[in-house]
Amino acid sequence: MKRAVAVFGVIAAVFALAIPAGAKPSSHAKFDYALTGEARALELAIGDQGVSLGVALSRADSTPAALGVGAGQCTLLGSEPDTDNLPCNEDTSITSRFPGTPGDDTPKCAGALPEPLASLVDLKLACGSSSSGLLKGIPFTRSTGKVGHLGVTLPVGTVLDSVPVQPLINQLTQTLSPILDQTPAVVHDAVDNVLDLVTGLTETEALAIDLGPSVSNITNKNGVMTVDSSSAGALIGLVGIPEAGVDGTAIKATSDPLKNGLVIIEVGTSRASASVDDANAAATAAASAALVTVKVRDITKPEPTYVEISVAPGKTETVLEGTPAETTITAADSTIEENGSSARSSADAVRIHALKGINGGVAIALAGSKAAVQGKVVKPAAPIKQAPPETLPLTGATDMTIPALFLFLAAGVAFVIRRKVTA
């Protein structure tokens, strides 16, 4: 038996020596990458107080590592927030990491702002969720920040009461001056009733906002790493004015700024994405800015009737100029930069300065999204070539190495069988 083992050991050694060095598996090129993404639903500033709402951040690299943050409420973050020290409310935020904390796709929600903002801003709900991990060796992260209804209370009545009614009527809508003399008395009375209602209020929900979610995800599909950030826009209403009765004397419905506001602003979805291919580190980017539509109430009509104004990307429009409700809207524009193995994109936030004549107004930034990616293919070091052993040239004969090895193997098997039979 010992001889048999020795024979097979010799056979294995011979086969090992016969396999060329080139048969070893070759090492693949290493792919280094880093991706970052960010989306914010709303940044609100009243005087020197401010808050960021609906924030989603994502980071990943080839370590492999991933970081995600989904926050409903934070203090103002600035342009380059420190992800390790975000000033966000823990009751509305989830931070996830790989390796480390996987996080949770179930959002954490709360609905209170710190003073003194809480006395002016009614926040119904703010939520955040985030999860990170590793899928087939590639890091991923998905984060979401959401905000429910937001209402801002300002002393609108006091300010409007100090403005002469007729000049205010003339400036609230471009259609009023040419037709006022021809307007039936019943409609003129309705206008007076609406203005009396608003100026008689000591305070009202001067500004209401409904927000869509902000999302930032990092994914891998067919060898392409992508960071995708989006903010789903908002509906903003300024100074709710109830519908006037047909007879010009009664006031119907509630004054919901989102349904019958003096100004209603619709902000669409902004998106920014960047991708990198792990085969060649080629990077691409894409972005689309939020579209903005402004609706201005024609208060000469007893039922809510609006004149629509579209604000093109990168343009600025001011409505109700010269009144306490003067509001300036600057529509976002998008930018894309592609430079071989790196790319970045951004859809800038829509910026609104609302109700300028009421205690300085309210500054709002909406629907901002950013994404950036960088990749690099790192080639392995070239192996050191070893000179093949010197052999004598063959003269006319064929290489018999493989047949000889098989014959040697057959002889070994025959030897073992013979030993078993004789035993």
Q: How many CB atoms lie within 10 A of CB 65?
A: 17
Handedness of CA 290, 273, 345, 45 (dihedral sign): positive
Phi-psi map region of 322: left, alpha, beta (phi>0 left; psi -120 to 50 alpha): left
Write down the pLDDT at residue 392: 44
φ and ψ of 248, to 5 deg: 80, 5
Q: How many CB atoms lie within 10 A of CB 48?
A: 6
> Does residue 144 contact residue 56 with C-beta atoms inside 8 Å?
yes
Write down the pLDDT at residue 173: 40
Write down the pLDDT at residue 389: 53
Tokens of 30: 């290493």
**pLDDT tens, the chain, 423 aa long:** 445 444 444 444 444 444 444 434 344 568 899 999 999 999 988 877 788 999 999 999 999 999 999 999 998 887 788 888 889 999 999 999 999 999 999 999 988 787 777 887 888 889 999 999 999 889 999 999 998 888 887 655 444 444 444 444 444 444 343 434 444 454 455 455 555 555 544 455 678 899 899 999 999 999 999 999 999 989 999 877 765 544 444 444 456 788 888 889 999 999 999 999 988 999 999 999 999 999 987 766 666 778 888 998 889 998 877 777 788 999 989 999 999 999 999 999 899 998 887 778 889 999 899 999 999 887 765 555 555 555 444 444 445 555 555 555 555 555 555 555 555
Tokens of 281: 């580190």
Residue 14 pairs in a beta bridge with: none
Write down the pLDDT at residue 239: 78
Distances (CA, A) of 337 to 96, 220, 229, 270, 343: 29, 21, 16, 17, 5
pTM: 0.72
Distances (CA, A) of 60 to 64, 97, 109, 129, 374: 7, 9, 26, 17, 11
